[in-house]
Homo-oligomer: A and B are copies of this chain.
Amino acid sequence: MSNQDTEQKILNAATDVFQSKGMDGARMQEIADKANINKAMLHYYYRSKQKLFEAVFKTAISIMAPKLTEIIEKEEPLFDKIKHFTNSYINLISKHSYIPTFIIHELNRNPEILQDTFVKQFGNSFNKMKTQVNEMVENGEIRPIEPEHLIINVVAMSIFPFVAKPILKAVLQKDEADYQLLLEERKTHVADFVINSIKIN
């Protein structure tokens, strides 16, 4: 098998295991088993558990971050932006549902692993949206709101149902299919809820 295939198979297996068990709970043996290769090969390709973890973490950020900056940076009316965001971000997370909890846990363990590049990129995109919101408030087009709170609200309502899935599933007494339905509903519900809150009647 070619180098690249093996390397990719390892990264895929490592992604599965690290994202569900976390850095500390993950076992190199389990990753090797999932990749159908020998444990020694993991070290041959990635040198150490730490380096393999870093590759997985970096990939996770690179899946979540570009879409986020892309949407809030796009030149379009605020309400459209909000609709696009909730729809495509909830869609994206549905395909990678372990990532948010993984990122949150690992970042709480060790906040330093956040890359500068991501923070700066987001900072720039967010500044544009800040201006957009502030201008609309000044022009009386929407109710007064701090852009920071607005974006936290949108992101929180989009992501939280994924990270709190086990507890929400239990207390709302939903099976897997019902919970998936609820997540689907949120693609439009969250946008409507936010727009209702800030629009002038």
Contact = CB atoms under 8 A, between A and B. Distances in A.
Contact of A173 (B123, B173, B182, B201): B123
Given A123-B173, A149-B189, A170-B114, A108 B161 contact: no
Chain A: interface size category:
35 or more
A1 interface: no
A171 interface: yes
A197 interface: yes
A193 interface: yes
A55 interface: no
Interface string A126-149: 100000000000000001011011
Given A101-B105, A105-B101, A197-B194, A160 B156 contact: yes
Interface of A is mostly: helix
Contacts of A152: 157, 160-161, 168, 186
Interface string A147-170: 011001101110111011111101
A77 interface: no
A119 B80 CA distance: 38
Given A22-B109, A105-B101, A166-B107, A122 B171 contact: yes
A33 interface: no
A20 interface: yes
Contacts of A164: 104, 155-156, 159
B149 A186 contact: yes
Given A114-B170, A160-B155, A201-B201, A148 B104 contact: no
Contacts of A50: none
Interface of A: 20-25, 98, 101, 103-105, 107-109, 111, 114, 119, 122-123, 126, 143, 145-146, 148-149, 152-153, 155-157, 159-161, 163-168, 170-173, 182, 185-186, 189-190, 193-194, 196-198, 201
